[in-house]
């Protein structure tokens, strides 16, 4: 029988990975290495599978075996950096990334891959240099120009981001993401806006295209800026409709998950001794509720490192549940039911290992993963000295702010007002439960208070987390640290209150949502 060719092996491994059949994928990668030992594919794919299944040391060992014979292999160097970063060996990971950057030469795709890894590592300024190198080598490469614009935006270099978007538009005048990105960098005016260009680009597209959704959101923002609220809402609903059509989402499942979590924590949580020596600060709540703003305020303190939206907690909890309660097939309902029995010290060990590369060197760190509100009791089990800051916002202001933001499918509940209302009710139900079983341990902070009583609210925040007042926290907009959220433009400005009442321009359109929330027991005014 003829031995499988290298492409045969690659297809087999890819198919097994797509089906999440990890043992078979691992075996196929081993067979590929045995049959084609001088090719990188078996080593790379085997390392990919090991890393995806949380076998970080095994993933690194495989790739380093390959690098022993081919030390300048770009893909292997990049994978080595990924493995080292996953293991929390940050300095070594960055050294491997630099080696990969050298091996990349002037190849645009390779430089983009290095840039993406550096962004993931939080090395935005070095990523900017890599993208500049790529643009110098390929000045007409729209992808590299757009990526550099995005990094400039993360770093607050809005004028430079605009120049890169302009360069994209000089090559492709109807590029949807560049048009939308350019509009998001500043408030549009009746004299100076991109509305006509976006409308023309939209008219030239099929109605159901992905690009059409981006343009609808860009137009909604622009029309709102110039006070044309009916046109803004028309584009906003069209963009949300297109995004929702691409998603598989069942709001009833989220409702059931929240109910199971509440059942899993039926009584007041005992306060246990701390074994970690850590007092992390978790900022939770809905997206667009002011979480990035509060992260910037606290992250401007000399003793605090803002680590961003970490995935470490959900990953740690998921790994522990998988070990204790094999879920086949994977069920979010069964997963939620298992949470109540988890051990806090085990969660702490897993979380600290997974977040090592992002936690920084300062005394305290912030994890601003908003969805951690699902795990408040487990946070305190893991870290008895943790602090949880929960951002609240006027219900319709919060829901409208979510509905107007294109999250690219990250939050599947946000593209249809009825589903958004149902999720909001579940979120409020869960937070009320956490306050019952964790009495006095979570600090609720209203976005409106942050904006209208800045110093008093900042002092209240610092007192809760146990830090002395520093004036730098009031000048958060001068903090040079990168911001990767949809609030990256807003948090570079001093506080303003114009967004507090923005939803009222759409009170009639939001009336069904209002009725749904009020029927669920939410007080609106």
The answer to the question of residue 120 being in a domain is: no
Contact 307, 355 (CB under 8 A): yes
Report the C-alpha gap between 327 and 20 in whole angstroms.
Answer: 13
Burial class (CB in 10 A: 0-12, 13-18, 19+), 259: middle
Contact 355, 343 (CB under 8 A): no
The answer to the question of residue 216 being in a domain is: no
pLDDT digits (tens, 9 = 90+) for 109-160: 999 999 999 998 889 999 999 999 999 999 999 999 999 999 999 898 999 9
The answer to the question of residue 47 being in a domain is: no
pLDDT digits (tens, 9 = 90+) for 196-255: 999 999 999 987 788 999 999 999 999 999 999 999 999 999 999 999 999 999 999 999
The answer to the question of residue 429 being in a domain is: yes
Report the C-alpha gap between 372 and 507 in whole angstroms.
Answer: 30
Contact 366, 295 (CB under 8 A): yes
Domain count, the chain: 1
User: Among 57, 77, 119, which residue's Cα sits nearest to residue 353?
Assistant: 57
The answer to the question of residue 181 being in a domain is: no
User: Among 220, 212, 131, which residue's Cα sits nearest to residue 183?
Assistant: 220
Residue 334: give the domain boundaries.
Answer: 251-519
Per-position pLDDT tens, the chain of length 525: 367 899 988 999 999 998 889 999 999 999 999 999 999 999 999 999 999 988 999 999 999 999 999 999 999 999 999 999 989 899 999 999 999 999 999 999 999 999 999 998 889 999 999 999 999 999 999 999 999 999 999 898 999 999 999 999 999 999 999 999 999 999 999 999 999 999 999 999 987 788 999 999 999 999 999 999 999 999 999 999 999 999 999 999 999 999 999 999 999 999 999 999 999 999 999 999 999 999 999 999 999 999 999 999 999 999 999 888 776 666 889 999 999 999 999 999 999 999 988 888 888 999 999 999 999 999 999 999 999 999 999 999 999 999 999 988 789 999 999 999 999 999 999 999 999 999 999 999 999 999 999 999 999 999 999 999 999 999 988 777 776 666 566 665 666 667 788 999 999 999 999 999 999 999 998
The answer to the question of residue 165 being in a domain is: no
Structure tokens that stand for 203 in this block: 């008219």
pLDDT digits (tens, 9 = 90+) for 287-314: 999 999 999 999 999 999 999 999 999 9
Q: What is the CATH number of the domain that holds 480?
A: 3.40.50.300
Q: Give the pLDDT of residue 1.
A: 37
Cα diameter, the chain: 77
The answer to the question of residue 381 being in a domain is: yes
The answer to the question of residue 87 being in a domain is: no
């Amino acid at each position: 029988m003829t031995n499988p060719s290298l492409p045969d092996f690659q297809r087999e491994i890819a198919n097994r990975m797509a089906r999440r059949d990890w043992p078979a994928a691992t075996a196929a990668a081993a067979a590929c290495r045995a049959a084609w030992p001088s090719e990188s594919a078996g080593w790379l794919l085997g390392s990919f599978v090991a890393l995806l299944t949380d076998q970080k040391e095994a993933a690194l060992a495989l790739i380093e075996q390959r690098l022993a014979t081919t030390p300048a292999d770009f893909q292997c160097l990049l994978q080595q950096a990924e493995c080292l970063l996953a293991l929390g060996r940050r300095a070594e990971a960055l050294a491997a990334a630099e080696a990969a950057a050298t091996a990349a030469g002037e190849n645009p795709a390779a430089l983009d891959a290095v840039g993406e890894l550096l962004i993931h590592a939080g090395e935005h300024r070095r990523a900017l240099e890599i993208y500049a190198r790529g643009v110098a080598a390929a000045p007409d490469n729209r992808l590299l120009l757009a990526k550099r614009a995005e990094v400039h935006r993360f770093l607050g270099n809005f004028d430079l981001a605009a120049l890169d978007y302009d360069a994209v538009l000089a090559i492709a005048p109807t590029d949807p993401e560049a048009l939308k990105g350019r509009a998001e960098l500043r408030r549009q005016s009746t004299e100076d806006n991109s509305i006509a260009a976006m409308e023309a680009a939209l008219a030239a597209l099929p109605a159901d295209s992905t690009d059409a959704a981006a343009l609808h959101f860009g137009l909604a923002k622009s029309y709102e800026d110039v006070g044309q609220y009916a046109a803004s809402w028309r584009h906003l609903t069209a963009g949300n409709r297109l995004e929702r059509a691409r998603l598989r989402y069942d709001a009833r499942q989220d409702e059931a998950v929240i109910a199971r979590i509440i059942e899993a924590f039926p009584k007041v949580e005992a306060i246990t001794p701390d074994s970690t020596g850590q007092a992390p600060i978790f900022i939770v709540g809905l997206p667009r509720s002011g979480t990035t703003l509060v992260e910037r305020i606290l992250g401007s303190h000399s003793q605090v490192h803002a680590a961003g939206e970490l995935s470490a907690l959900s990953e740690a909890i998921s790994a522990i549940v998988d070990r204790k309660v094999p879920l086949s097939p994977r069920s979010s309902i069964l997963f939620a039911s298992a949470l109540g029995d988890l051990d806090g010290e085990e969660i702490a060990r897993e979380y600290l290992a997974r977040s090592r590369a992002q936690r920084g060197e300062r005394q305290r760190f912030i994890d601003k993963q908003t969805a951690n509100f699902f795990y408040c009791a487990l946070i305190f089990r893991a870290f008895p000295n943790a602090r949880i800051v929960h951002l609240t916002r006027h219900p319709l202001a919060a829901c409208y702010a979510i509905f107007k933001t294109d999250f690219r499918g990250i939050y599947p509940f946000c593209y249809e007002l009825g589903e958004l209302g149902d999720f909001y009710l579940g979120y409020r139900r869960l937070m009320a439960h956490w306050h019952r079983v964790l009495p006095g341990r979570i600090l609720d902070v209203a976005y409106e208070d942050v904006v209208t009583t800045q110093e008093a609210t900042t002092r209240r925040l610092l007192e809760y987390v146990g830090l002395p007042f520093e004036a730098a926290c009031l000048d958060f907009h001068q903090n040079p640290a990168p911001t990767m959220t949809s609030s990256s433009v807003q948090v570079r400005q001093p506080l303003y209150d114009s967004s507090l009442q923005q939803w009222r321009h759409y009170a009639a359109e939001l009336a069904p949502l209002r009725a749904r929330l009020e029927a669920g027991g939410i007080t609106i005014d």
